[in-house]
Structure 1
């Protein structure tokens, strides 16, 4: 095998002429291997962005270096001229090179390995192994994702989608994510949690494909419902059962805190009276209520013996709180019934909550009435946001693993590389 062919194989480059190899010694390092290269004549003089053959403009900034994969402990760089060409579409740009993406300072193989590592390990490990900065990891991930997305239509064939938001940073920093129910893949993510962000997804989808959407699952957020009604008038909107039951659980917990605070106030009064020697009442009622949260939250079939005793005690001592618990359980059981029975049970629950004289549940029934059609649609089509919540959990894990991203776009790129069905592969592997 000729030495030039061997060097091309070792470097993982194609359509490249290897002119010379030089080793540069370093005082406090392992040295650098400088491989002087040039593009083959078949692709020389092309636009770096569109790839069209263009007229020569100037020499640019002279010779440049691109970081390649290391040879053991030795860092490797490709060195070549970087002339500029004049393109009719893109203007004056640096000429295309076959070993690296336009505007990148690393070879294709280097980018590919960093992107693969980003889907497998922490960002800190990547910086130490590849000897690059944190920002460089984010830039490479974004480049690789843009290159991947340019050749794949992730929005093709969408019929049933789920929409949700996820917090990725403090101070109310959110991403809006869209998942395909049929494939389980993340198909789109955008920065923000509002109508404008979601409209960006439907703009990318297009009017024709938006009209083909048949089902949309989401929580009760009004900004989602408004945009879906505007852009997908033919789609059936399904309210996520988990979020609906969560509304009831939050209402129950609010009632529990009200009862607990009232018991604390009574306890303080009893202590004062007991200190004065006038009465000797038990003052453990408030503490017993404080420890009742999990007994009230858990499903009846999952209660421990101790929690069952606690629930029976609440039924005897706090009938208002117990009534709130029954209302929560009644709404949860609606989702376990067939459609015709569920519709009747939901109407009965609404009437019960309306007359329950518990302010928080009277308010909740108004919300349930507003989303009644979407709730019944979720039961009819057996659609929920469980898949979307699973994707959100994976995005949170990615966020923790790859901490340090300053830009949410790098996080979106990493999430898409992990969850969109087109993970990067190691160089030289199929």
Structure 2
């Protein structure tokens, strides 16, 4: 093998001639002077179309490539400009790097692989680059990866949700394929305009092929889904529905606690100045307020998950505060409906609505109106066995990625890292895939 071929293999470049390799005396880095093969010269940096040369550019440029051993290595070549009929005067393409990138393709590929597998400090120390540079690399690697496959192929059942990625109400809207479990689309924002971008990318023909859409009860999601794919069955997420009931139960618990506190203050006799003695007996109403304050988890948890102490507290609540006990049974009744067969669930849901409507607990009277409004979507989740469970699992993974991606300048880098990690197209190490 010739010397130039050996250097080309070591540097990981193709269709490139290696002319000379030496060490920079000032910095000690390795500099490899290269030129593209004749067939790849004078091509547009964006469309790779052969063009007429405009000038020689601003002199030699450097591209960071993978280290050789422990030595930092750069490719050095002239960067002439060409005149493209479509893009005008632009820097000519080179086979070893993307347009306007200061790193080679192999370098980008290794950084993106490390970012999906390692910690932030491991990537930056090993590759000797700043974390914001990692974000830029991930962004362009994902853009290139997205061109190589169709994320919307055979898309039938989708789930839509949003996740917060930064303080100040910064959200990302995510779309997941229920059948493959892949993250297929994500974009900054949480509104109708953001979701319409997804359906614009999907297209009218494929939007018409969507059969099921699961989501929470957000109006902006329901509006766009009804507008772009009205034939799809809209499915309410059971977790969010039960969460509504849990919120109503907690509202009633706080109301009961405040009533007990107020009763304790009204019945407490006048006392002197200063703190009461340590051995002073606590009034019964005050004891009730304290127990109600600390009963949140006994009321929230599923009956099968209660500890012995929590079961005792729950029995005490049912006996001493029938109204709060009734609110607890309403919450559990709604949760039980999602375990029933569809035919039984239809009857049970109507009975639950009737019960909540006349329960005289304001939080549940208000809740039953929301249940009636979303009745069809709730029953559809039972009939088709769909929920946002996959999306909630995906959101948990994205939250972990968000912690890793802290410090990226723009959300596009975070989205690129999430898509590379969860979109079914994970990067591979150079020379291994």
TM range (shorter): over 0.9
Do structure 1's residue 349 and structure 2's residue 346 form an aligned pair?
A: no
Do structure 1's residue 210 and structure 2's residue 212 form an aligned pair?
A: no
- Partner secondary structure for residue 179 of structure 1: strand
Q: Is the 8 A contact 2:264 2:283 kept in 1?
A: no
Choose which of 95, 98, 110 in structure 2 pairs with 1:101.
Answer: 98
Q: Is the 8 A contact 1:21 1:36 kept in 2?
A: yes
CA distance in 2: counterparts of 1:280 and 1:218, whole angstroms? 49
Partner residue, 1:400? 403
CA distance in 2: counterparts of 1:280 and 1:110, whole angstroms? 70
Q: Is the 8 A contact 2:216 2:237 kept in 1?
A: yes
Choose which of 284, 303, 312 in structure 1 pairs with 2:315.
Answer: 312
1:208-287 counterparts in 2 under 5 A?
208-273=205-270, 281-282=283-284, 283-287=286-290
CA change 1:235–1:18 in 2 (3 A) is: same
Do structure 1's residue 199 and structure 2's residue 199 form an aligned pair?
A: no
CA distance in 2: counterparts of 1:306 and 1:389, whole angstroms? 31
CA distance in 2: counterparts of 1:6 and 1:274, whole angstroms? 94
Structure 1 residue ranges without an equivalent (≥5): none
- Partner secondary structure for residue 119 of structure 1: helix
Displacement of 1:126 after TM fit?
A: 1.4
Displacement of 1:124 after TM fit?
A: 2.8
**TM-score, scaled relative to structure 1:** 0.97
- Partner secondary structure for residue 40 of structure 2: coil
Partner residue, 1:25? 25
Choose which of 96, 112, 115 in structure 2 pairs with 1:115.
Answer: 112
- Partner secondary structure for residue 43 of structure 2: coil
Q: Is the 8 A contact 2:65 2:103 kept in 1?
A: yes
1:310-355 Cα deviation digits (max 9, x unpaired): 1100001111111110000010001000001000000000010000
Structure 2 residue ranges without an equivalent (≥5): none
Partner residue, 2:426? 423
Partner residue, 2:324? 321
Alignment RMSD (CA, Å): 1.5
CA distance in 1: counterparts of 2:428 and 2:272, whole angstroms? 74
CA distance in 2: counterparts of 1:398 and 1:119, whole angstroms? 9
**TM-score, scaled relative to structure 2:** 0.96
Displacement of 1:289 after TM fit?
A: 0.7
Q: Is the 8 A contact 1:249 1:297 kept in 2?
A: yes
Choose which of 338, 343, 348 in structure 2 pairs with 1:340.
Answer: 343
Displacement of 1:274 after TM fit?
A: 6.5
Do structure 1's residue 134 and structure 2's residue 131 form an aligned pair?
A: yes
Displacement of 1:238 after TM fit?
A: 0.3
